Amino acid sequence: MSSHTQTVKRLTAPEIYARKGQTPLVCLTAYSAPMADILDAACDILLVGDSVGMVVHGLPSTIGVTMEMMILHGQAVMRGAKKAFVVVDMPFGSYEAGPEQAFANAVRILKETGAQAVKLESGPTVHETIGYLTQRGIPVMGHVGLRPQAVNVDGGFKAKGRTQAERDKVLQEARDSDAAGAFAIVVEGVAADLAGEITAAVKAPTIGIGASAACDGQILVVDDMLGQFDWSPKFVRRYAGLRETISDAAEAYAKDVRSRDFPAPQETYFAK
């Protein structure tokens, strides 16, 4: 028997696709190597989301996120994750001009990060780009419903599918993404019945965020899930309260420093 440690097999796009209607897919965002390492065992998919612009860099929206930012954080997550399937968001402006632009940027992301797939927000013409990429060996995750990169057009982060015309549009974008070859589709910020209708209409697994338990999986921004902000959207369930934990730890540290209780002898080096 080999003495070498057995290599952990990373999940693949076909394995994710085959999970349609099976045990729900567990997905979270990740932006750093330490967080990816912690989340890896629990998650099927780690998404290096362009939400990094807001969560980590303090931007007002995802519009200002660059290719360089996505590649940097994608590299970090790939260093930390060993099992989970890693997807990197293509930032605003990196794919909308057409399939050729999208292909060049997607190739760069995959080559420079080692990630396995990219995610595109599935606007009215993006299914053509999804097809172009998948036919050339690039796994693509779609994204319908509330699309953060369309915040300027929509006038804010607004739930989708509240009118029949809007429902029909979101459903068609999901069908088009599916037909173009997306291996999974994120469904964000839509009513539960529309999420169920989309899930039933497409062959690819749907991954919900603010889209009910009707989807084939769920994703949250990890910092929201861990309670690191003083506000979170309606669809978030907080599984920890790290904002308070970190604040309390910082206050305790500050108190010990000011009183000279830290560092104590056990945390100090002495001459031999």
Q: How many residues does the chain have?
A: 272
Does 119 belong to an annotated binding site?
Answer: yes
8 A C-beta contact, residue 39 and residue 30: yes
What is the Cα–Cα distance from 41 to 83, expressed in whole angstroms? 7
Does 272 belong to an annotated binding site?
Answer: no
Alpha carbon separation from 68 to 29, 53, 91, 134, 181 (Å, rounded): 18, 12, 10, 23, 27
What is the Cα–Cα distance from 70 to 58, expressed in whole angstroms? 15
Catalytic positions, written as ranges: 188
Question: CA 114, 116, 121, 123 torsion: positive or negative?
Answer: positive
Does 44 belong to an annotated binding site?
Answer: no
Does 177 belong to an annotated binding site?
Answer: no
Does 121 belong to an annotated binding site?
Answer: yes
Numbered residues of the known binding site for 3-methyl-2-oxobutanoate: 50-51, 89, 119
Would you list which residues are annotated within the binding site for Mg(2+)? 50, 89, 121
Annotated binding site: 50-51, 89, 119, 121
